[in-house]
Structure 1
């Protein structure tokens, strides 16, 4: 028998993290819809997108939303239409992309990440800063039982979005990749790029992040605005800092591409055509991901087992986790570990 109520965090008053925008509450345990599963949360990664939502950088899509979209848990119930998926008792991941329409021209051509009717976990519907979360059965990912939940959680957004950004930057085989910002997503993406034979240069303002980059095998690790030691074939901007766009474009070799991976970016200063874009340099955005991106990335990391640098926070300290993320005090990925989960 499931309880009638659960612990959860909601974004009560969007604003600077110092104003404590999160509020711990008791909510009814949700009932799964016909196409949904109900998942009991084992761990939930803390994403910079959660911080943008809490601080109001992302306009709320609904009041008092439960954030969190890097959820690892067990299926404990399902709707009638989801019965055929045979997910009961299995371990799954609930990620950022919650649903798409499946009918628009973007969905039909395999670009469901651009669907105008898409919805998102922890923005359009309650997410994983709670004991239970519902998700559409067709949008969850099967996860291995033998890997700790804390290690799996960051893969579900930081990893998947980083994988999409790596595809979008058009890195040539055995090319030179620049990474700007080195947090949760970047440290996973760097490892995948190096597995593929790339040389990786990291530029970040955090001294601890530079140390982590060196430990993981980066060819160099410098300050956020430093010039890399050689021209870049491609670059990814993970830091939500628009002022780094011209910096990264200037570091590109001829024909290079910069992919901007964040959902939110501060204003980009004026670009100089000759210095930043001429010689067929390209600037691209990254918008969410497709389920195919997620499956492809999880297949890669299941085979290779990346080092996932994590900092575990008790469920009761969700606000501190976001504050540490805002203050660049998290080396790798922050993950909430609830008391009801094994080891929480």
Structure 2
């Protein structure tokens, strides 16, 4: 079979596994770059914001090499803003959903970034733009970060149900076609892998197939107790920052209703010591659990399924990285996100012990 024939076979398999038609699956795989990568022009964005809001915006500075659509907007007439000019593939309705979540959080005095203006979503060069207030940061207190993150998640998951923020959430959503519940991370992972299936070297095929099987069989958290999720909260500056008034959770693109365990499992995954052996850090686990359970107690089923759910986001990260490196001709070596399996087992065990103590 030709290389083209092999790819058609992969597309058919992808369609079957994701419940899509062949043409939809083909778009899913071939349109990834256009949907994910977006670098808006900062100068044009400044002009748009001046015209839209009548502000004296003077500089647009990219804040991340990874999120090339996120800018700090400095002004002569007020405090800075953050402007997120999302990829065009992300619908305006999705960005309006972000704004609705932030309004809800402000109503409940939850420590999140705030909208810069009431009408915080606008259209710019085919993209939807969200503007929020810039948060002036101070250093996170030494040794307290994991407890602070656990407290933020517990407070978030304890908030009352509200129809205005009932959209499905929990998936990373780097591909705007795969936003929603955590299962979308796994479907996105399949797309990342299937997109480069025909480029995998024979020597790497066995490990690649094992990764595919892990993604296919992962526990997506379906059926577990639900809450409003942040979707991407780690003890890291891209996820939450410390202000003079306390911690502030930022970047709410992945937020929405979903299994609360997915949020907590991702935070717990991030508690480990980053070393070749990736060992469980029980002190950090205890800090997360102690803070979280001031607001929420997990069910026995959640504790039993924790290890499986903990794989969702790390698998996603491996898949997106695998595609990136293979596309760029680089050897992928970020397997530590999902290895060793003993780390997941021991971290889940430490979490169960902490909750049941």
Q: Under a length normalisation based on structure 2, what TM-score does the superposition of the two structures give?
A: 0.26
- Structure with more helix by fraction: 2
Q: Under a length normalisation based on structure 1, what TM-score does the superposition of the two structures give?
A: 0.26
Larger radius of gyration: 2
- Structure with more strand by fraction: 1
